[in-house]
Amino acid sequence: MNEIGSVTRSWTTSELLTVMASRALHDGQIVFAGVGVPLLAATLAQRLHAPGLTILFEGGVIGPFIVPGDLPPSTNEQRCTRRANMVCPITDVLMLLQRGFVDVGFLGGAEIDRYGNINTSFIGDPDHPKTRLPGSGGGNDIASLAHVIVAMKHEKRRFVERVQFVTSPGYLEGGASRHEAGLLAGGPKVIITDLAELGFDPVTKRMRIEALHPGVSVEDVEAKTGFDLDLADPLRVTAPPTERELEMLRELDPDRLYIA
Amino acid sequence: MAQAKREGRALSGYEALRSETALRDRSLHEKVVSLEAAAALINDGDHVAIGGCMMSRTPMALLWALVRAGRRDLTFSRSIVSSDGDIVVASGIAKKVITSWFSQGIVWGISRVMRHWVESGTAEFEEWSHLAMGLRYRAAAMGLPFLPIRSLMGSDVQRRLSGETREMICPFTGEKLVLVPALRPDVAIIHVQRCDPYGNAQIDGLQFMDIDLPMAAKRVIVTTERIVSNSQIRRSPDRTKFPFFVVEAVAEVPYGSAPHECYGLYEPFFRHMDLFAKMTKEDPERGSRDYLQRFFYEPRSWNEVLQRIGMDDLLTATSGGRNVHDE
């Protein structure tokens, strides 16, 4: 339990991210999900408002249904295949992105910048990194070829003016630069954090606040962001997680592997 | 090829590929060897492609044998590496790892071992996107020098690979494409559920890049949970994922992917993976040295490795592995 502003919260940061991310998914969509928050959000959506949502896993899985309490450790183990419609080679499941069958890809990241570029490769100079991060995985492919939802904790060190390394492209330098680089489809759509929902101006492609979570002010968000944010007009306030959403989520992850 | 010789010119890449392939023994013959003999087929300096992905169907027993054999200057490539990547850099057998993602696994955070060896410049981690890795193997499997891809563009992943990729304007559509070069390993090592003595390999469940890998590589070594008869293979040929004539050697190694999983048989040995993460967290150099000593150098057989990992972990993993078939 913690408190922001006047609202007492009875959920963890990961639970808030997961619930908000699940609401951004719609029935009938095909969703490329990693494990952790993305998978829980997609499964929660399936159980609450999007029964016809299809999950894809990078390991080569089409349309699985996850068994509560039996969450996979990555997208590449047999737990990912429970009640799946199909398994196929990795290259072929990733090819569905390029072919255009995927509505939404889910990403996280160490760093994101004002144009939605994501870094999961290096902190510091890539030739002499302070920290070598695990790298792209399918992140670059998802970000290049699909509309992307990003779920991450809102911290100043993560929301930076310019990422140190573009692992997964957002709108690059803004404006038409993504298209000019040869990326003809997709792009970041929503950034969901523990404070707000952010989107992008349709022309400049600069990040802007679309909605604040209950009890959060614009100043709270600005204080934790390393660059100036634009504001959408009107600015919405999200509804807090409901009992039903939280109950269902905790049922999916009873060991609190990913929602602690 | 003969024509190239007559004309006194060097073979092109494709001519060389054809002449190498023509010289391979493609007959239906038995090729069962011991694990140690399989490891001996791999030479210092080879590019070794590892089958499976992350914590699945990793040919761990063969990596164990390679570490014990003290191979040097190997380049490894794989779709995604987990603790297998940590082990090949920490043991000193790898100088380079070509992959899209390198860490033990999300639940254990960023690998301290990978960080230590890569940040100090002792081992190189060459990063490609996951689809780029797949298309590089597939290009080689198709006998083509490259394939076009629509990701990578605009990113620093591509920028950092400068010289390795090319951009082209499509002659049909005028669209920009990136070309990724074929990745042609010297040896592919692949762990499967079943294989016959000739090398007909059957894979259950997730296939990862293991249909393309054996076609891409110059040589293929299979480790298998079980060697089955050729007539058993012939009863379900649809489950055979690559044919005998691409395979050079077959070694039977039950639990040959431990402590990673083998679909339908055993899950990852989670407690052992926790142990590896814990041992290498504080001091990755000393921790991995201790781990390698205990689980790689001291045991004289793969069975002894399994004994040291322990019956509890093995049975827990086995019980979970069989669950995949539950309703």
Question: Could you tell me if residue A260 is inside a domain?
Answer: no
CATH class in words for B29-130+184-322: alpha beta
Q: How many CB pairs under 8 A join A and B?
A: 191
pLDDT at A55 over 80: yes
Q: What are B164-170's contacts with CB under 8 Å, separation 24+?
A: B167/A182
Instruction: Name the token pair of B22.
Output: 């023509």
Contact B151 A36 (CB under 8 A): no
Assess if residue A99 is contained within a domain: yes
Total length of chain A:
260
Per-residue pLDDT of B145-186, as tens digits, reads 999 999 999 999 999 998 899 999 999 999 999 999 999 999
| A65-74, A232-241, B19-28, B95-104, range with the lowest pLDDT | A65-74
Q: Is residue A174 part of a domain?
A: yes
Are the C-beta atoms of residues A81 and A121 closer than 8 Å to each other? Answer: no
- The tens digit of pLDDT for each residue in B131-149 reads 999 999 999 999 999 999 9
**Residue B326: pLDDT band with limits 50, 70, 90:** confident
What residues make up the domain containing A41?
2-252
ipTM for the predicted complex:
0.96
Please state, in angstroms and rounded to a whole number, the distance separating the CA atoms of residues B24 and A251: 56
Report the pLDDT value the prediction gives residue A73, as an integer from 0 to 100. Answer: 85
CATH value at residue A207? 3.40.1080.10
Domain ranges for chain B, please list them: 29-130+184-322, 146-181
Give the largest CA-CA distance in chain B: 66
The least confident of A83-87, A254-258, B203-207 is: A254-258
pLDDT value for B175: 97
| DSSP annotation of B317 | H
Catalytic residues of A: 58
pLDDT classification of B4: cutoffs 50, 70, 90 = confident
Residues of B in contact with A80 (CB under 8 A): 206
- Tell whether A74 lies on the interface with B, counting CB pairs under 8 A: yes
**pLDDT, tens digit (0-9, with 9 covering 90-100), for A105-157:** 999 888 999 999 999 999 999 999 999 999 999 999 999 999 999 999 999 99
The percent of residues above 70 in pLDDT, for chain B, comes to 99
Candidates A36, A34, A73, A83; CA nearest to B56 is A73
Query: In this structure, is residue A258 part of a structural domain?
Result: no
- Which chain B residues are within 8 Å of A144, Cβ to Cβ? 129, 150-155
A177 in contact with B, Cβ within 8 Å: yes
Q: What is the mean pLDDT of residues B96-114?
A: 96
Min distance B106 CA to chain A CA atoms (Å): 7
At residue A2 the predicted structure's pLDDT band, cuts being 50, 70 and 90, is: very low
| Mean pLDDT score across all residues of chain B | 96
Question: Which chain B residue lies closest to A258 (C-alpha atoms)?
Answer: B107
pLDDT digits (tens, 9 = 90+) for B266-318: 999 999 999 999 999 999 999 999 999 999 999 999 999 999 999 999 999 99
Cα Rg of chain A (Å, integer): 18
Calpha distance B100→B130 (Å, rounded): 5
Structure tokens at A109: 């990241």
Work out the pLDDT band at A8, boundaries 50, 70, 90.
Answer: low
pLDDT band of B324, cuts 50, 70, 90: confident
Confidence of residue A174 (pLDDT cuts 50, 70, 90): very high
The reported pLDDT for the residue numbered B1 is 64
Chain B residue whose CA is closest to A181: B154
Give dist(CA B142, CA B14) in Å, integer: 11
Q: Which residues of B touch A77 (CB under 8 A)?
A: 54-56, 261, 267-268
